[in-house]
Amino acid sequence: MGPRGRWAAGVVGCLLVLSGAASASDENVVVLEGCKDRWAFVLGVEEAVRSRVPARYELVRDLGTQRPLVFVEGGLRCDSYTVGGTSAATTIASVAAVVESPDGEGCLSAIPGLGDIKADALPVCNAYLLWDATDNARYAEFLRSGTPDFPIWVTDELLFEEGSFDLPLLGAPFHFQAGPSAPFRLTSDFVVRERPGPVPVATFFWTETAGGTVKLSFYIDDLEFGEASGTVRTEPGSELAEIFGGEVGEPAPGLSLFGAARWTRAVLAKTVIR
């Protein structure tokens, strides 16, 4: 195992030991390899977001408008998701409300050597998951194991299309679409401008289930950020339109600079806090 593998295994091992809520079994860990992620932070409607997020989670707000931030992942594509020894190419789309860290962990606080940095120095790395969609049934089973009401749907209608660099656009065109069998209708059209320079990052997704609070912890040691500027759309009258305040999500100022990423290898650990 190389340095990257040892780092990832060590971080996940520390997480599982410190949490006291899961064993260090491979059944609790997913390995993500060869991934490209595209997302947008959009401004949500207060009432619509607050009604879908339990009161104990504090919403993160745009400083200018004071509207809650909504993370719209449209989408994530990995060459390989390894779940319980089985690997498959995987596409994912999700919608989540950005929240303050419930347990003090943030983008940098869980990274070895950076633990003294204030966890919420960049308060966009914890989110309360509203809907998740994937074309990988094995991954959905992993998330539902012990928590059968985890909000994930399996669909083969997740279209992830990326073009090559376009000189007039000074970037690469990207298109994503979630079809009718997904829990939400979503279309993303971005121009992606990647920036070299890998950094270690941790992100966390939370959701409440009948089996307890689920925390999904993603640890990436070679994430390369990029810009994704464009639009996200949904169907008029849908739940997502209620959250957006219309069929087009209004982007949060400045955050499109962190709307794209790629990485070689990452680990995801599922913890259930009962």
Going residue by residue through the chain (274 aa), what tens digit of pLDDT does each one get?
443 333 334 444 443 333 333 333 467 899 999 999 999 999 999 999 999 999 999 999 999 999 999 999 999 999 999 998 899 999 999 999 999 999 888 776 655 555 454 444 456 799 999 999 999 999 999 999 999 999 999 999 999 999 998 888 789 999 999 999 999 999 999 999 988 888 888 999 999 999 999 999 999 989 998 999 999 999 999 999 999 999 999 999 888 878 899 999 999 999 999 8
- The DSSP element (H or E) to which 47 belongs, if any, is helix 46-50
Burial profile 42-59: b = 16 or more Cβ within 10 angstroms, e = fewer: bbbbeebbeebbeeebeb
- The overall longest dimension of the chain from CA atoms, in Å, is 53
Helices (H) and strands (E) in the chain, counts: 4, 11
- The DSSP element (H or E) to which 262 belongs, if any, is strand 260-273
User: Hey, what are 51's tokens?
Assistant: 């009604």
Q: Residue 3: how many CB atoms within 10 A of its CB?
A: 8
| Host domain of residue 88 | 3-273
Model-level pTM? Answer: 0.86
Q: How many CA atoms lie within 13 A of 198 on its CB side?
A: 11
Return the pLDDT at 110: 54
Domain CATH code at residue 15: 2.40.400
Q: How many domains in the chain?
A: 1
User: Hey, what are 32's tokens?
Assistant: 């993500």
Label residue 113 exposed, middle or buried (CB < 10 Å: 0-12, 13-18, 19+): exposed
CA separation for the pair 266, 244 (Å, rounded)? 31
Which residues lie below 8 Å from residue 183, measured CB to CB, with a gap of 6+? Answer: 131, 132, 133, 151, 153
User: Hey, what are 199's tokens?
Assistant: 């950094």
Q: Yes or no: say if 143 and 152 are a contact pair by the CB < 8 Å rule.
A: yes
Return the pLDDT at 45: 98
